[in-house]
Amino acid sequence: MATDTRTISLTVNGQPVVAEVEPRRLLVDFLREDLGLVGAHIGCEHGVCGTCTVLLNGASTHSCITLAVQADGADISTVEGLADGGELHPLQDEFSAKQGLQCGYCTPGMLMRAREILTRNPDPSPAEVREAIASNLCRCTGYQFITEAVLAAAARMRATREVVP
Amino acid sequence: MTTADQATPGAPPVRDHSAKRRWVGQSIRRVEDPKFLLGRGGYIADRITPGTLHAAVLRSPHPHARIVGIETAEAKAAPGVHAVITGAEAAELCDPMPDFGPDPARHTWRCLAAEKVRYVGEGVAVVVADSRYLAEDALELIEVEYEPLPAVTDPERALADGSPLVHEALESNCAYERSFDFGDVERDFAEADVVVRDRLRWHRSGGQPLETVGAIAEYDPGTGSFTIDTNTLSFTSYLFMAAATLKVPVNKLDIRPVPAGGSFGSKLFANKPAMIAGMCARKTGRKVAYLEDRVDNISNCDHHGSDRVYDVELAMMRDGTMRGIKIDVIDDYGAYIQFGVGHHGNALAQVVGPYTIGSVRYRVRAALTNKNQQGAYRGFGSEVNNWMLEQMVDKAARELGLDPVAVRRMNFIREFPHFIPTGNVYDSGDYERVLDHALDLADYGHWRDEQRRLREQEGRYIGIGVITAQERSVFSATEFWFWFDEPGAPVTSTPESVSLKVDATGGITAVLYSCAFWGNSPETMVAQLVAEEFDCSPYDVSVVYHGSRDGLPATGPGGSRTTVMLAGAVEGAAGRIKEKARRAAAHLLEIGPDDLEWADGGYRVRGDPERKKSLGEIAIMLHLFKHSFPEDMESGLDASKVFDHPYTTMPSADRKDLGVFYPFVGHACHVPVVEVDIETGAVTFLHYAAVHDCGTLVNPRSLAGHIVGGTAQGIGTALYEEFVYDEDGQLLSSSFMDYLIPTAMEVPELTLGHVETPSPYTPHGIKGGGEGGRMMAPAAINAAVNDALAPLGVRLTELPMTPERILAALRAAGHAG
């Protein structure tokens, strides 16, 4: 069958990507199946749970209700781009230290959402962290240790920023 | 507290827990986590390889209808479609699903509905195509002709005469009924000063992990074997039933576990997606993935939680002494009943809570209705019993004009081991210490003052709930069959197995057999337990999840059993390895084995600590230098342990005594402080303290995480979550738009405390703790809401306490909302 496709050009974790996609192809399927970036997960498929969260031009986006063609020209960041080589990002490290994950399924979405939060507000209060991550469901942790992890990572990231002007 | 008596019949030896522990009890980082943090979790959907076909299931829009005909020609001709299988065709390809229910031949359950559909969401056909997109396109092209039938969704109506029949062959919607008496119920009620009565309603919710159930199946016609990867492996010992469904010998079926994105019970023995994928793989000759979408998982997962109507009577003395309880419960099981009434066996493990109630009458009726069937959800029915009992205790205190905390305290069981009227044992505990610690953490006195002040000065309704309840752990199989006088399968064994293999360099690999990662921490638990045995770092232990086919007997997570059972298996396997290592070391050091002692990761000569052999030094000799050892020593250093349930006794023939079936019993006290807005019906938390005692903690931080997470689920159960079926049988909450899971804004920060009363019977004194939060929170929050509304004479008796229900209760009491 001749399938109608579109060409999209975008940047994913700093790498340029050009691809042919069906107009109806979801961004999450494009990332997972076409690019092999399986960190963005599929949870509810209707934009509620947030486990598919990636950053699109720096803004957290539910990739399960975003079409791949909508990402044409965009800069996408996924959890795979978070660690710096072998070194975990402070958010990843603090999620581990505080046990801010159990099954791990919401974790990539939570990490990307947290990264966005801390970009916008490097010094959030616990209440601000809770309000900000309320976009993402976690069924395991009850959010307490996630909140602690985000706050601990924020403190480390602020300290790093002060040292490196 | 008294200690266990060695002579208690059937009890294992009382252990000495005096040894110093190096790793057990440490909140180390979990060994599982790095892969998940990097987005490389390896979940089932991550493992789909190019060329794999995708299956999608056509779901019934009708709650109850006869399937008159299905037209699939157009779907079969659609682009990329490899097969379309209807329910009738599936009934030829597969035998019925594995089913532990009371009379499976009269309520037959299949992977797809064959002749009629019995609930909205039941599968009627499956399409296999090159992609999920194409499979879903083809679903639209299938024409099903239904003859709608009247539906029944109310369990009491279902049991009444003239109700539509969910299964005609059963000639009734009552799948099971039984009444048990334990102790002298009539005497206790005759001697009681007061009988407190209530009618309570608990609606159904479910685990709803963020990852649905999925499977990738491959059939090799050359060997006649299935290989199925899935996130649901459990009960390896029972997979002959799944093999029968797929019509292959069990040694031609390998079900391999992959990490699951949460379960909370909902992936327990959840074989249907694996059976559908397997059927499709065999039919197409290709590898097939079937991953539920969210609507599948909500409407067709076979793992809805309890759905009960209670009529309860509690016999009390005027001073607050509890004497006996009569429980009459109807449980709405939905359209099938795969685990029988095991959920009520579970409740009977701790039916009297932490109290010295002397007698129990328990009547259960299992109703079949046009809903998706029940399965497992964190608590497995005993959390509902906790809620019911705590509601009754609060109501009794109120009717008698007594302090609810004092009533609990005066009825506490104080001597252990304690046999409750049903026959189950509570191994150990210190309930008063837990209560005192919780009241302290909750700042109970302060909040009682605040409650009064805010009520009087600001007209606000603050409530404080105090509940004290049990958390049974480590189930034995008898709870599933003691219901029957002549059980078909009076199974006694629910083992867990571990193999430990020491390589030539002394590195240790642990193999688990039925124990997939579900968000619990089996790798961390095993790594800490192995490290404790061998003085290595837990991060140097490698953990492997073995498939089912040539695995050792195993059961997997469920009933808060994993850590205790793995601890027993690790201890047993480690003991065997150490015995061989000791003999080898003795030979190498030219000394008697009894002159050696284990220390710092090896054997050394007693009184001469410089003469020693590390495990690595022993291991390389045993791997490579067989001829340095006596003739009877084989090469290698590995051992397995099949650890059977450590404490099960058989039910009596007359079922006056159900025996010991859930012996390691934890305890908790939750104290939430809530505010109820009587204008909107909204409930918010002002404080929440929780103290748990589940014996010795292996990793306190991970247990704390389970308590907070379980409490969050309990908040959902208490306030938000419900699979709502309307009177006609339509499912109104089939997405997360309507099925409301608590977010970070609804779940408060918990103030946590632990008390550790080691079990006398388990390695290190561990008890299971994975379900505790959800076993307590619904009861505690209901108690808090009722405490808030007490001045208005309003009491909520139905969960979840949605704003609508709270406002309706206020209106019914004459307070226009």
Tell me the CA distances in angstroms from B414 to B61, B389, B408, B419, B431, one per residue in order: 54, 19, 12, 12, 8
Give backbone dihedrals phi and psi of B781, rounded to 5 degrees, phi first.
-70, -40
CATH 1.10.150.120 range(s) for chain A read 90-163
Task: Tell me how close the Cα of A106 comes to any Cα of chain B, in angstroms.
Answer: 7
Say if B367 falls within a structural domain.
no
The per-residue pLDDT for B817 is 52
Q: Cβ A139–B262 below 8 Å, yes or no?
A: yes
Contact flag B518-A97 (C-beta cutoff 8 Å): no
pLDDT band at B770 (very low <50, low <70, confident <90, very high): very high
Residue B440 sits in the same domain as residue B410: yes
| B306 falls within a domain | no
pLDDT at B1 over 90: no
- Taking an 8 Å cut-off on Cβ atoms, the answer to whether A38 and B745 are in contact is no
From chain A, the residues in CB contact with B525 under 8 A are: none
User: For the residues A97-122, what does the mean pLDDT come to?
Assistant: 98
What are the distances in angstroms from CA A59 to CA A53, A55, B743?
10, 5, 20
Same domain, B711 and B626: no
pLDDT band at B516 (very low <50, low <70, confident <90, very high): confident
Q: Give the pair of three-digit tokens for residue B808.
A: 């309706």
Q: Name the residue of chain A whose CA is nearest to B212's CA.
A: A43
A26 near B104, Cβ under 8 Å?
no
Sort out which chain A residues have CB atoms less than 8 A from B209's CB and list them.
103, 105, 139
**Residue written as tokens 């409740």?**
B347
- Clarify whether residues B782 and B744 are in a common domain: yes
Lookup: tokens for B495? 């083992």
The CATH class given to the A6-81 domain equals alpha beta
- Chain B contacts in chain A segment 102-161 (CB below 8 A): 102-108, 111, 126, 129-131, 133-135, 137-147
Whether residues A99 and B29 touch (CB distance < 8 A) is answered with yes
Whether residue B771 sits in one domain with residue B679: yes
pLDDT of B7: 59
Of A32, A106, A144, the CB nearest to B210: A106
Pairwise CA distance, residues A31 & A46, whole Å? 17
pLDDT for the residue numbered A85: 86
| Same domain as B470, residue B600 | no
Closest residue in chain A to residue B516, using alpha carbons only: A103
Instruction: State the CATH number of the domain containing residue B505.
Output: 3.30.365.10
Q: From the DSSP assignment, how many helices (H) and strands (E) are in chain B? A: 21, 30
DSSP string, B250-286: GGGEEEEE---S--TTTTTT--HHHHHHHHHHHHHTS
Question: Which of B131, B525, B743 has the highest number of chain A CBs within 10 A, making it the mutation to test binding with A?
Answer: B743
Q: Which two structure tokens, joined as six digits, stand for B208?
A: 């709803």
Long-range contacts at B807-813 (CB < 8 A, ≥ 24 apart): B807/B680, B807/B681, B810/B678, B810/B681
What lies within 8 Å, CB to CB, of B82 at 6+ separation is: B53, B128, B129, B130, B284, B286
Closest-CA distance of chain B to residue A130, Å: 5
β-strand pairing of B322-334 with B359-368: parallel
Distance CA B639, CA B290 (A): 37
Query: CATH fold of A90-163, please?
Result: DNA polymerase; domain 1 (1.10.150)
Non-local (6+) Cβ contacts of B657 within 8 A are B182, B422, B423, B651
Shortest Cα distance from B696 to chain A (angstroms)? 19
Alpha-carbon gap, residue B682 to B365, rounded angstroms: 34
To test the contact with chain B by mutation, choose from A52, A64, A103, A106 the residue with the greatest count of B C-beta atoms within 10 A, namely: A103
Q: Which residue of A has its CA nearest to B770?
A: A140
The pLDDT of residue B266 is above 50: yes
Single pTM value for the model: 0.97
Check B702 against A133: CB less than 8 A apart.
no
> Which pLDDT does position A160 carry in this prediction?
86
Domain assignment present for residue B628? The answer is: yes
What digits encode the pLDDT tens for the residues B428-460?
Answer: 999 999 999 999 999 999 999 999 999 999 999
**A11 C-beta neighbours (distance < 10 Å), count:** 15
Say yes or no: B706 and B798 in one domain.
Answer: yes
Q: Dihedral sign for Cα B741, B743, B745, B747, please.
A: positive
Residues, chain A: 165
Burial A32-45 (b: 16+ CB within 10 A, else e): bbebebbbbbbbbb
Residue B635 falls inside a structural domain: yes
Q: Which of residues 48-67 of A touch B (CB under 8 A)?
A: 48-49, 51
Tokens describing residue B326: 């009569």
Whether B406 and B465 map to the same domain: the answer is: yes
pLDDT per residue as tens digits for the range B661-687: 999 999 999 999 999 999 999 999 999
Beta bridge partners of B324: B315, B359
Listed in sequence order, the DSSP H helices in B590-631 are 615-624
The structure tokens listed for B451 are: 């409650």
Q: Using CB atoms within 10 A of its CB, is residue B455 exposed (0-12), middle (13-18) or buried (19+)?
A: middle
Contact call for residues B758 and B428 (beta carbons, < 8 A)? yes
- Give the confidence band of B514 by pLDDT, cuts at 50, 70, 90: confident
Residues of A in contact with B750 (CB under 8 A): 142, 144
**Which among B791, B794, B797 is positioned nearest to B392, based on CA atoms?**
B797
Strands (E), B130-271: 143-148, 174-182, 194-202, 214-220, 225-230, 253-257
Q: Which of B302, B355, B296 is nearest to B324 (CA)?
A: B355
Say yes or no for a CB contact (<8 Å) between A1 and B46.
no
Which of these, B305, B308, B270, B271, lies nearest to B378 by C-alpha position? B305
What is the residue range of B285's domain? 44-149+213-291
Q: What is the pLDDT of residues A124-165, one digit of tens each?
A: 999 999 999 999 999 999 999 999 999 999 999 999 876 654
Domain total of chain B: 3
Is there a single domain that holds both residue B547 and residue B473?
no
> DSSP labels for B293-360?
-HHHHHHSSS-B---EEEEEEEEE-TTS-EEEEEEEEEEEEET--TTTTHHHHHHHTSTTTTB---EE
Q: How many CB atoms lie within 10 A of CB B624?
A: 10
Nearest to A66 by CA among A81, A46, A49, A51: A46
Both B500 and B554 in a single domain? yes
Percent above pLDDT 70 for chain B: 99
User: Is A99 at the interface with chain B, CB within 8 A?
Assistant: yes
Contact assignment for A139 to B701 by CB distance below 8 Å: no
B714, B773 contact by CB (below 8 A): yes
Interface mutation target, options B28, B38, B377, B378, chain A, most CBs of A under 10 Å: B38
Q: In this structure, which amino acid lies at residue B391?
A: Q
Nearest-neighbour CA in chain A from B493: distance (Å): 29
The answer to whether residues B118 and B335 touch, using CB atoms and an 8 Å cutoff, is yes
- Measure CA B198 to chain center: 28
Whether the complex's predicted ipTM surpasses the cut of 0.95: yes
* B32 assigned to some structural domain: no
For an interface test with A, the pick among B35, B36, B292 (most A C-beta atoms closer than 10 Å) comes out as B36
pLDDT digits (tens, 9 = 90+) for B680-728: 999 999 999 999 999 999 999 999 999 999 999 999 999 999 999 999 9
Question: CATH 3.10.20.30 occupies which residues in chain A?
Answer: 6-81
